[in-house]
A and B are shown apart, each in its own frame.
Chain A
Amino acid sequence: MTDTIDVTINGEPRVVAAGATLLELLASLELDPRAVVVEHNRAIVRRPHLSGVTVADGDAIELVHFVGGG
């Protein structure tokens, strides 16, 4: 029984704690949940629901925000 899982965040392989929620994942990355939008396995997870979604082995997570653009 392992206490970590392998996920992909923004295209990069990452090892995170098993059982972590998306909100805990953001905290571990020192990201303000108000400043990012989270996509979990291609589905957007709204801010109020971040604490209710647990990350599973093999999940793909995208964390995006606004940058300069035309």
Chain B
Amino acid sequence: MSTAVEALRDTPFTVAGRTFHSRLMVGTGKYQDNETMVRAIEASGAEIVTVAVRRVDLDRTKESGVLHHLDPRKYFLLANTAGCYTAQDAVRYARLAREAGFNDFIKLEVIGDQETLLPDVQGLLDAARTLVGEGFKVLAYTNEDLVTALRLEEAGCAAVMPLASPIGSGLGLLNPYGVRTIKRRLKVPVVVDAGVGTASDACLTMEQGVDGILMNTALASARDPVGMAHAMRLAVEAGRGAYLAGRMPRREVAVPSSPLEGLLD
């Protein structure tokens, strides 16, 4: 017999053999202060948090290191190659990130266009092949193109991360069909990365059946980042639950919910 509790049962979210309890991953950039960031991450329930690799500020005009605020024993640090425009740069950043000593996961970004921050898929594939060959667990940020996603999987990526819409845009899920198709065709986890703006975007994205969502600006640029983090946590769970439950078919005509029998003459 099916119960409500059973309906919520889910398979674990596993990437490269590692299982995580939350399907929501969050970034650590652009918060107005570190205390808000820490509280927002806490409220999001996320276990995987992304970080970037940058030069140390030698003059100490500001303390930019994120590890002063985040406990790496509590969170799984996923370093990114954000800001890289070539495969060589991305490989260089990935190697530096791994040397920091936390794990061999890398969120691979190779950007092809400064205005849209859309990925350079050729550079992405080149870097992915190199990094997989060096033993990295590559989570590749890509667009919603199926063929690129298939090539990234063939290259040995641990997860493929199509965008909902451009990084930091908050435009939401622009191509549900593309994302759904990638999820249907790939065996590795599909995590939507970038573009989610508010809770309904996150819910709609999870309803496509993807394995998770990674977001940053939607929390950091909300009026109340902690409140939005909580809303996103619920939205990801709701969207996942609705996907697992299976939505009703769409119909172009009305179908009455009340019986047609027993109506008065």
CB distance B82 to A68 under 8 Å?
no
Q: A65-B65, A65-B100 are in contact. List 8 more A-B contacts (CB 8 A).
A: A37-B100, A39-B96, A67-B52, A68-B28, A69-B28, A70-B30, A70-B214, A70-B216
Once A and B bind, how many residue pairs between them come within 8 Å at the CB atom?
94
CB distance A67 to B64 under 8 Å?
yes
Q: Which of A26-70 contact B (CB under 8 A)?
A: 29-31, 35-37, 39, 42, 44, 46, 62-70
CB distance A10 to B65 under 8 Å?
no
Complex formed: what's the CA distance from A52 to B80 in Å? 30
Residue B55 CB within 8 A of the other chain? yes
CB distance B95 to A69 under 8 Å?
no
Complex formed: what's the CA distance from A47 to B27 in Å? 27
Most B-side CB within 10 Å, residue of A36, A44, A65: A65
Complex formed: what's the CA distance from A1 to B26 in Å? 54
Residue A12 CB within 8 A of the other chain? yes
Most A-side CB within 10 Å, residue of B29, B56, B100, B214: B56
7 shortest interchain CB distances as A-B pairs: A69-B52, A70-B27, A70-B216, A68-B28, A66-B51, A10-B55, A68-B29
- Considering only CB atoms, which chain A residue lies closest to B59 in the complex? A12
- The proximity string for A residues 16-34 relative to B, scoring 1 for CB distances below 8 Å and 0 otherwise, is 0000000000000111000
Known: A37-B99, A39-B96, A44-B99. A68 touches B58 (CB 8 A): no
